[in-house]
Structure 1
Amino acid sequence: MEGMTKADVDKLDKGLAVRSGRALRPRDAATLILLDRQGKDLLVLMGRRHARHAFMPGKFVFPGGRTDPADSRIAVGAPLRGEEEKKLVAGPGRASAARARAIALSAIRETYEEAGLLIGRKGAFSTAKRDWQGFAEHGVIPSLDVLRFVARAITPPNRVRRFDTRFFSAWRHDVAVELPGGGPTNELEELVWLPLADARKADIPDITGMILEELEGRLADDPLLRPGGAVPFFRLVRNRFVREVL
């Protein structure tokens, strides 16, 4: 998709191409790509969105959603790694440290809500925020040091929804609690752990396939997914879809 015009992009991902009829400012959002090594296979967690959703109906996606600015006030067991925070606050629409923290925490919250996976450390945790009560109930302190910032993408203009999405990655062993019944919302119809090669063949948005390809390349160079790696950034600039590096 790099170098494609807006018209070219409109031909792809029909679920994204619905016209809103008005200019929408992209909202902050976060996604978490959970990885698990099983023998020679590298698995990734994905879920299918309900067909009734206006944004990407029926597509397989990673857990994620919109950022709540109040997430920045949630106590954590460990902050973002310095290398990760530096990249989160960089680039167009520079984010404050508090905004970067909220974005990262929203990836953890959405993974709990949609997949029933609580990322952090076992320990006493309390909060008045309703969306985080599951962490208090199960004794998990959310921790940001396990997150790796792996990609960023802004939805092209004139879509029914627009997001400035930051993609994070973490390992399954970073999950402190796995709820057997899944998360408290019904955003995703099913959750599956797919080998990375199979995930790229699933019914996924084109941008998701691009992110998986980028992540696969990064893991080939750095199997441990250490902090501070290059972060590809996809967006429309002067009517052309471009890839930059943060």
Structure 2
Amino acid sequence: MNKALVERLSNAERQTHYPNVRPKDAATLLILDRQANGEFKVLMGRRHQRHRFMPGMFVFPGGRVDPADSRVPVIGNYHPDVLQKLAYSLKGPKTDARTRAFAVAAVRETYEEAGVFVGSKADADWQGKGDFAAFSERCVMPDLSPMRLIARAITPPRRPRRFDTRFLAVPADAIADQLAEGTGPSGELEDVHWLTLDAAKNLELPTITLTIIEELQNRLSADRDLAPETPVPFYYWRRKGFIREEV
């Protein structure tokens, strides 16, 4: 199964004619809602057709880590095993501030794109800046404690855009509030709704998104509570194809 995932992802990423750029740190959030029958649904949206990058594709909310994300106050800490996995790097461990920024970025992007506030109730006197002003208005602060790492993937060299993405997951009860509009203020995602994992696989998806869904299904078959110590896949390009390493 793992070999098939690697081969499909490698075959989808053969074009290498763009100038090489350094990948930017990014984070994506999979919000998982466990149904009464044990099935899981995940929150996804369709990228607006006006986007030059993956228009019309269904994705999880997420995006690039901003410098300010490392300075946003948070509630709770990552589980030590999750922190260790997030800090792992091919070029040396990340700092605590940088690893904290992964979850903050995923939470911020989820609000911007889906209108969902993920976090825990905070003191009324905290003053968020930028997008986090909307969080402080609702007395909500990002919470690292329920975050679980599902996978990590680095876009291969010589692609139009490159990201080093951490795919994080939280249970649906981590949602503290949401906008009535059913989407976020950025307008980047349309048709935001809950989908079963099988239904999601039938949509128009980036190959990496399909790969992550299948990795998640494989994990849930043996680890339904997403234990923090469970090894997670790390995809990166080497020579002529992807490598799948476990962290």
Aligned-residue sequence identity (percent) comes to 46
Matches within 5 A, 1:130-145: 130-145=130-145
Matches within 5 A, 1:45-194: 45-93=43-91, 94-124=93-123, 126-181=126-181, 182-194=183-195
Change (3 A) 1:224 1:24: same
- Gapped runs of 5+ residues in structure 1? 12-16
Q: Secondary structure at the match of 1:158?
A: coil
TM-score normalised to structure 2 length: 0.91
Moved over 3 A (4+): 3-6
Q: Secondary structure at the match of 2:6?
A: coil
CA separation in 2, counterparts of 1:170 and 1:156?
27
Change (3 A) 1:197 1:4: closer
Q: Which amino acid aligns with 2:80?
A: G
For residues 140-195 of structure 1, what are the alpha-carbon distances to aligned partners after superposition, in whole Å with 9 as ceiling and x for unaligned?
12101111011000111222111000000011111111221132111102201111
Change (3 A) 1:56 1:101: same
CA separation in 2, counterparts of 1:146 and 1:203?
29
Q: How many residues align?
A: 239
TM-score normalised to structure 1 length: 0.91
For residues 73-113 of structure 1, what are the alpha-carbon distances to aligned partners after superposition, in whole Å with 9 as ceiling and x for unaligned?
11111121211110011131332221111112101111111
Change (3 A) 1:128 1:36: closer
Q: Secondary structure at the match of 1:170?
A: strand
2:232 aligned with 1:236, yes or no? no
CA separation in 2, counterparts of 1:107 and 1:5?
23
- Gapped runs of 5+ residues in structure 2? none
Matches within 5 A, 1:192-231: 192-231=193-232
For residues 46-70 of structure 1, what are the alpha-carbon distances to aligned partners after superposition, in whole Å with 9 as ceiling and x for unaligned?
1000122222111100000000122
CA separation in 2, counterparts of 1:122 and 1:229?
29
Q: Which amino acid aligns with 1:220?
A: S
CA separation in 1, counterparts of 2:46 and 2:83?
30
Change (3 A) 1:5 1:177: closer
CA separation in 1, counterparts of 2:127 and 2:16?
39
Q: Which amino acid aligns with 1:75?
A: P
Report the counterpart of residue 30 of structure 2 in structure 1.
Answer: 33
For residues 202-238 of structure 1, what are the alpha-carbon distances to aligned partners after superposition, in whole Å with 9 as ceiling and x for unaligned?
1111111111111111111111112222110111112
CA separation in 2, counterparts of 1:109 and 1:4?
31
- CA RMSD in angstroms, aligned pairs only: 1.8
Report the counterpart of residue 13 of structure 2 in structure 1.
Answer: 10
What is the CA distance between 1:128 and its match in structure 2? 5.0
What is the CA distance between 1:201 and its match in structure 2? 1.3
Q: Secondary structure at the match of 2:77?
A: coil
